Amino acid sequence: MSTVTGKAAQTAKGPEGRATAKSPAAGPGASQGRQVRRKPLGRQNAAGWLFSTPFLVLFLVFMAFPILATLVMSFTDFGLRNVTHPLDAKFIGFENYVNLFGDEKFLRSLLNTGYFVVVGVPLTIVIGLVVAVLLNNGIDRARTFFRVGFYAPVVTTIVAVAVVWRFVLDPSDGLISGLFSEVGLTGPDFLGSEALAMPSMIAMAVWRNVGTVMVLFIAGLQAIPTEVREAARLDGAGVWAEFKGITVPLLRPTMLYATVITTIGYLNVFEEPFVMTQGGPSDSTLTVSLNMYREGFNFFHMGYASAMAYVLFVVIMAITVLQLRLLKDNTK
């Protein structure tokens, strides 16, 4: 692979980017350009393709091909031996997909992921919005300080953070159970309890992702023209009326974007359960991604895992489209 990319980079970096004939697609495009307009376009055509080549090669090999291959694999019994002999995999039609919907473990993981999204996304968005509004309107001093503080969890390595949270929630030595014992109570075993493991993970996800949403909302708030606010105040609008009548409607595009990316992120949740619970207790934190990883890389049921990946992908697309529709319609 390295040779292919190396070559692509070389071609693109070639002498003065003038190598018109080197790019296969430049030929027809260039002549077409010459017909309609004049020389500069022909040159730009060649350069355009040369500048695009490195990205396109990497994109085709490491993204487009795997995406299609996952689809093909999902209709086969791709297993461990096919890692060395991929073409020997047997075509089995929709069997993987049919099996998925009779697979209690998969349905459980789908449900768990849904739970994570349905509770986690609104919490993240609302808290992020509140923090952004407070930071933007309520204070002048120390704004940067607060913003850095709220954003810090976003950039830190999730595996390390999950290890820390495991300790914070530890029933014997943890911070939270310690606080319980201080008032004479016994703290619950957060990650060891079927009922509490997922909410604990949601709390951690909210903690970690509020910063992203906050920054998006701050940018959105700064784009609202001052005059609009001033006009509202002159009309005697109170703080709440201004928030409801101006801030929220004008932030709608930001809200849409924040909701969509948070939802997509949460639907793919993997690291948190992997490090904190390994999916337990009794599969209560087994997410679709973790389930897929296990089926694919622990048990080498790669065809089956591919079908899982595609079901998750379809769910993500469907929910994204639905969110775009719902939230766009609201603006009208």
Binding flag, residue 306, another protein (CB under 8 A): yes
- Closest approach of Cβ 206 to another protein, in Å? 11
Beta carbon of residue 104, minimum distance to another protein (angstroms, whole number) = 21
Instruction: Check binding of 132 to another protein (CB under 8 A).
Output: no
The residue assigned the tokens 């005697």 is: 236
- d(Cα 257, Cα 181) in Å, to the nearest integer? 42
Nearest CB to another protein, comparing residues 193 and 320: 320
3-state secondary structure of 183: coil
Q: Which of 86, 114, 280, 281 binds another protein (CB under 8 A)?
A: 86
Burial (0-12, 13-18, 19+ Cβ within 10 Å), 72:
middle
Q: Which range, of 10-18, 91-99, 101-109, 194-202, touches another protein by CB under 8 A? A: 10-18
147 part of the interface to another protein, by CB under 8 A? yes
Q: Which is nearer to another protein, 119 or 127 (CB)?
A: 127
The correct pick among 44, 99, 193, 323 for binding another protein (CB under 8 A) is: 44
End-to-end CA distance of the chain: 50
Q: Does 293 bind another protein (CB under 8 A)?
A: yes
Stretch that binds another protein, among 95-103, 104-112, 194-202, 286-294 (CB under 8 A): 286-294
Q: Give, as one character, the DSSP assignment of residue 61.
A: I
Residues whose CB falls within 8 Å of the CB of residue 21, separated by 6 or more in sequence, listed in order: 27
What totals of helices (H) and strands (E) does the chain contain, helices first? 17, 0
Residue 161-180 contact track with another protein, rule CB under 8 A, x = bound: x-xxxxxx-x-xxxx-xxx-
* Contacts to another protein from residues 97-126, by CB under 8 A: none
Question: Which residues, at least 6 apart from 212, have a Cβ–Cβ distance to it below 8 Å?
Answer: 128, 151, 154, 258, 261, 262
Site for another protein in 172-231 (CB under 8 A): 172-175, 177-179, 181-182, 207, 210, 212, 215-216, 218-226, 229
Helices 65-73 and 302-331: crossing angle, nearest 10°?
120
Q: What is the total count of residues that contact another protein (CB under 8 A)?
A: 130
Minimum distance, C-beta of residue 220 to another protein, in the bound complex (Å): 8
From 15-23, 93-101, 105-113, 191-199, give the range in contact with another protein by CB under 8 A: 15-23
Return the residue of 76, 109, 209, 254 that touches another protein, per CB under 8 A: 254
Question: How far, in Å, CA of 102 to CA of 106, rounded?
Answer: 8
Select the residue interacting with another protein from 274, 279, 284, 285 (CB under 8 A): 274
Dihedral (Cα; 213, 216, 220, 221), 10-degree rounding: 60
Q: With contact defined as beta carbons under 8 Å apart, do 158 and 208 qualify? A: yes
